Structure 1
Amino acid sequence: MNIEQTVSTAVASLALGNVFTFDDLVRAVQDRRQRTLRVVELADLGDHDGICAVWLITESEDLVLHAHSDSVLHRQQFVLHEFAHMLLGHGQGDECSVEDVLLPDIPAHTRGRLLARQDLDSDREIAAESVADRLAASIRGSALAESRYLEIFG
Structure 2
Amino acid sequence: MSVAQALHALPPTASERAYREAVDAFAGLELPPRLNLELIVRVVEAIRGRRIRIRTTDKLAGTSICGLWLPGKRHEWVFHPPTPWELQRQQFVLHELSHMILGHDAHPGAGSLLHEGLQHLSPEVIRRALMRTEFRTVEEATAEYLADLLAEALREGPGEPGAFEEVFG
- Contact 2:71/2:105, CA 8 A, preserved across alignment: no
**TM norm structure 1:** 0.79
Deviation at 1:122, TM superposition (A): 1.2
Amino acid at match of 1:84: S
Amino acid at match of 1:105: S
1:123-144 CA-to-partner distances (Å, cap 9, x unmatched) read: 1111111100110111111123
- The gaps in structure 1 that reach 5 residues or longer are none
Amino acid at match of 1:51: I
1:77-134 CA-to-partner distances (Å, cap 9, x unmatched) read: 111000011111111151565x62x6573484x343246x234221111111110011
Give the direction of change, closer, same or farther, for the CA distance of 1:121–1:19 in structure 2 (3 Å limit): farther
Q: In the alignment, what sits opposite 1:105?
A: 122
Q: Find out whether 1:140 has 2:155 as its counterpart.
A: yes
Q: In the alignment, what sits opposite 2:10?
A: none
Q: In the alignment, what sits opposite 2:141?
A: 126
Deviation at 1:49, TM superposition (A): 1.5
Q: Give me the whole-angstrom Cα distance separating, in 1, the residues matched to 2:121 and 2:20.
A: 40
**Segments of 4+ moved more than 2 angstroms:** 102-108
Q: In the alignment, what sits opposite 2:11?
A: none
User: What pairs up with 1:4-15 in 2 under 5 angstroms?
Assistant: 4-15=19-30
Q: In the alignment, what sits opposite 1:72?
A: 86
| 2:76 maps to which of 62, 71, 92 | 62
Q: Find out whether 1:22 has 2:37 as its counterpart.
A: yes
Amino acid at match of 1:30: E
RMSD value, Cα? 2.8
Give the direction of change, closer, same or farther, for the CA distance of 1:40–1:106 in structure 2 (3 Å limit): closer
Give the direction of change, closer, same or farther, for the CA distance of 1:103–1:51 in structure 2 (3 Å limit): farther
Q: Give me the whole-angstrom Cα distance separating, in 1, the residues matched to 2:130 and 2:155.
A: 29
Q: In the alignment, what sits opposite 1:89?
A: 103
**TM norm structure 2:** 0.73
| Identity %, equivalent residues | 29
Q: Give me the whole-angstrom Cα distance separating, in 2, the residues matched to 1:59 and 1:27.
A: 17
Secondary structure at 1:6 match in 2: helix
Q: In the alignment, what sits opposite 2:57?
A: 42
Give the direction of change, closer, same or farther, for the CA distance of 1:103–1:122 in structure 2 (3 Å limit): same
| Greater relative contact order (CA < 8 Å, ≥ 6 in sequence) | 2
Deviation at 1:44, TM superposition (A): 4.2
- Contact 1:44/1:68, CA 8 A, preserved across alignment: no
